[in-house]
Chain A
């Protein structure tokens, strides 16, 4: 039995190390998978999803009260420029998530005071066009997400039309 003591201790240490590494890298793996899933229509462009239903599978725990517009980005070849247009809703926001799932930027409608704003998602050392607020991220890929509160589902078609004024592009 003594011949197994060393291997068993080693196995236990390997198990602990594996558990730690798996927990540490789970966010990167899941974020990468989410980016690929949302980017089925292409990177660096917004996809305006319909209101979530029981059939929705793009993200977990979607809010059925929010209209989501997602711009999956890949800034390996240039910065992502976002023009956010205000929406007539009780709540709306633009949030930018990096490859580690951090929300590196959030601005809501109250903070925007009903005015459009422009954001450049970029890496340090890159220049961005005048008028764009710099948002530096770690990693090349992530998701910019617009949430709009749809207080009344019958009013969704009007919101759906106006939210398309928000655009993202790589430059």
Chain B
């Protein structure tokens, strides 16, 4: 093989490898991988000119049009508190404390970032679902089927899909978006059954 052909082959392979690596890295990135708190990942530069190219690319792919930190904070989880992937066929108990924001909600998505289909047509649970917006603590059950009437936790359907991701939105954070709640404040995700 001539020298120019060797360079051409390796150059084309380099382009393919670079594009493939980019697609792999971005598709497998969590939305907000700058800061990890327990099972939750977040970042402070969403929607801001200060975002680095990698964060900007991940947000464009997984959370385009996200608001900047002073307006809203986004916390995503693809794993439970023990580190295992969230599975739609399993039941998880998600327990949280008062969140320092004017309003919050927890939403379930598929890995492509779309809402999880379910017969109940329920896609999120907001703080308003709990007495005093959950200031005394709250519990959500992420599960494919509705819990029994005796269960006091709010139900968030997981649709039974293979992998589920959660996004916790806190709007108008009390600190103006300058910090993050600690691991003791952000919800704990415990797998109960599969």
Chain A residues engaging chain B, CB cutoff 8 angstroms: 3-4, 6-8, 10-24, 26-27, 30-31, 34, 52-54, 56-57, 59-65, 90-91, 93, 95, 97, 100-103, 106, 108, 110, 143, 145, 147, 149, 151
Contacts and interface: CB of A to CB of B under 8 A. Distances in A.
B21 interface: yes
Nearest to B17: A15
Contacts of B102: 90-91
Contacts, number: 169
B117 interface: yes
Given A14-B15, A27-B56, A102-B48, A34 B169 contact: no
Interface in B111-130: 112-118, 121, 123-124, 126, 128
A10 B18 CA distance: 13
Given A54-B117, A97-B47, A101-B47, A63 B105 contact: yes
Given A11-B11, A64-B123, A19 B21 contact: yes
A136 to B, nearest CB: 13
B86 interface: no
Interface residues of B, number: 57
B84 interface: no
Interface of B is mostly: mixed
B3 A106 contact: no
A7 B10 CA distance: 6
A105 to B, nearest CB: 10
Given A26-B57, A101-B47, A108-B172, A13 B64 contact: no
B8 to A, nearest CB: 8
